[in-house]
């Protein structure tokens, strides 16, 4: 009688535990998911930078030569003096060159 109950209990226990152990192996781990998400974010960031560069290049190609030269001149001046507000040089302020 005891063996019969023991057999039923073991069978019930094994049936209850088996799906849990199999379910743990389904899918991917959290660490793997984080790695995939990080890679996806990095790829999206690269794609966005590439798209902005292409847009900027296309915008410059739409401008005429004088406008491109003016943009280049102001960009160089802004790069030299940093991101602060620009102040013209002494001669430009004095004589308006």
Q: Taking the model in full, what pTM does it have?
A: 0.45
Q: pLDDT at position 44, please? A: 97
Q: Is residue 97 part of a domain?
A: no
- Whether 61 is covered by a domain: the verdict is yes
pLDDT band at 97 (very low <50, low <70, confident <90, very high): low
**Are 29 and 37 in contact, with CB atoms under 8 Å apart?**
no
- The number of distinct structural domains making up the chain is 1
Is there a domain that residue 7 lies in? no
Q: In this structure, is residue 87 part of a structural domain?
A: no
Contacts of 58 by beta carbon, 8 Å cutoff, 6+ apart: none
Q: Which domain, by its residues, includes 36?
A: 29-80
- Percentage of the residues of the chain whose pLDDT score is greater than 90: 43
pLDDT at residue 93, as a whole number: 86
Domain annotation covers residue 53: yes
pLDDT at 35: 95
Identify whether 6 is part of a domain: no
- Mean pLDDT calculated for residue range 32-50: 96
Residue 34 lies in a domain: yes
């Amino acid at each position: 009688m005891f063996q019969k109950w023991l057999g039923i209990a073991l069978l019930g226990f094994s049936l209850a535990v088996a799906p849990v152990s199999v379910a743990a192996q389904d899918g991917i781990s959290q660490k793997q998911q984080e790695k995939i998400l990080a890679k996806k974010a990095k790829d999206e960031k690269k794609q966005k930078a590439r798209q902005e560069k292409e847009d900027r290049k296309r915008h410059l190609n739409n401008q005429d030569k004088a406008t491109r030269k003016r943009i280049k001149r102001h960009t160089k001046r802004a790069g030299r003096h940093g991101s602060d507000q620009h102040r013209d040089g002494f001669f430009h302020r004095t004589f308006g060159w």
